[in-house]
Amino acid sequence: MSKLKTLRLALIGSGGNTRVHLRRLAAIPEVSIVGITEPSADQLAATAAAFPALAGLPTFDDHRRMLRAVQADAVLISTPHTQHTRQVLDALAAGLHVQCEKPLACTVADTKRIVAAATKARRQVVISFQRRWTAQWQFIRAKVRSPEFGRPLFVQSFLSQAWLQLTRGKWRQKKSLSGGGQLNDSGAHLIDMIFWTLPSRPVEVTAMMDNRGTEVDIDSAISYRFADGCLGSLAVPGAGPKPVFWEDVTIIGDKGLGLFLRNGTLTLVDDRGVAEQKSYTGGSDPDRHFVDVVLKGAKNECPPADFLPNIAFTTACWKSAAMGGRPVKIAY
């Protein structure tokens, strides 16, 4: 149990995603925002307009200056992906806890550096994969890991988004800032759910990708195999129709039970019939969880080591696609 009663939180990045966090943090009385790092005057103005209570806070254009200048217990990082590693490591070196947006890092090596640094600093790093705290995905994970489901045989996942159109001209399509494309961005959420839900790790992958004339992957078609023999299929079209964010997941077990998630609606199928799952219990969000981990000693449900399978899989997909879809062993 921490001796802290209030969490003094500094923000590294104040863009639209940070404002999503701030709306949740506003409902947590134990949190006090103490500083903001944001090089964009436009983003600072947008955040100030949305959250007048933050007026007068010290602002900085470099996170290292902020870490030296303000008294903080933790940081929330929501910045271009390739900046995460340096910012996480600097915060840990300053003795602070860290909540970081996905992807935690853009390489396997950097992920391992963060894991080691968090252990050495004896500080918590929580990754903001918000689906881990949704009641529906908690139900799915429990069902797949229950004796009645048996061994998973096949998992299919699909995500369609107008990522190409929505990120055109922005940092996400600049590889030096994003580290990769749609697979490393929205796709990382879906990859995390599959690897968090299933009991085994993928060991081999084959991938085909199309950058659609950009620096980064836009459309991905991926097949993979788990260590326990389960087969997987992942499709991430980032050039989908603009009005729709559509997601499907199917998981089938060897005892005749299948879970079919169709854009938010979950259906369970077995020998007894077909039933829509309409109610769930529990659920939270990554911001409430981060506060509970730091102040109350709650178990960290999304530590940095959990990101290793995600980035190892993604890296193998990039490598396979670069070789024309040849199979690649996943290096953890």
For the chain, 332 residues long, give each residue's pLDDT as a single digit of tens: 577 889 999 999 999 999 999 999 999 999 999 999 999 999 999 999 999 999 899 999 999 999 999 999 999 999 999 999 999 999 999 999 999 999 999 999 999 999 999 999 999 999 999 999 999 999 999 999 999 999 999 999 999 999 999 999 999 999 999 999 999 999 999 999 999 999 999 999 999 999 999 999 999 999 999 999 999 999 999 999 998 899 999 999 999 999 999 999 999 999 999 999 999 999 999 999 999 999 999 999 999 999 999 999 999 999 999 999 999 999 99
pLDDT of residue 326: 98
pLDDT of residue 289: 97
Residues 102 and 169 in one domain: no
CA nearest neighbour of 131 among 106, 166, 102: 102
Give the number of other Cβ atoms within 10 Å of residue 300's Cβ. 20
Instruction: Indicate which CATH number applies to the domain containing 44.
Output: 3.40.50.720
Residues 183 and 325 in one domain: yes
Contacts of 201 by beta carbon, 8 Å cutoff, 6+ apart: 195, 226, 227, 309, 330, 332
pLDDT of residue 1: 58
Range of the domain at 263: 131-267+311-329
Residues 173 and 322 in one domain: yes
In-domain check, residue 276: no
Residues 184 and 324 in one domain: yes
Contact 157, 248 (CB under 8 A): yes
In-domain check, residue 59: yes
| pTM of the predicted structure, to 2 decimals | 0.95
Instruction: Indicate which CATH number applies to the domain containing 173.
Output: 3.30.360.10
Give per-residue burial for 180-219: e unless 16+ CB within 10 Å, then b: bbbbbbbbbbbbbbbbbbbeeebbebbbebebbebebbbb
Residues 187 and 115 in one domain: no
- On the question of a cis peptide bond just before residue 103, with omega within 30 degrees of 0, the verdict is yes
pLDDT of residue 239: 95
In-domain check, residue 44: yes
- Quick one: how far is CA 116 from the chain centroid? 20
pLDDT of residue 199: 96
Round the CA-based radius of gyration of the chain to a whole number and report it: 20
CA nearest neighbour of 11 among 23, 22, 3: 22
In-domain check, residue 274: no
- Diameter of the chain by CA atoms? 63
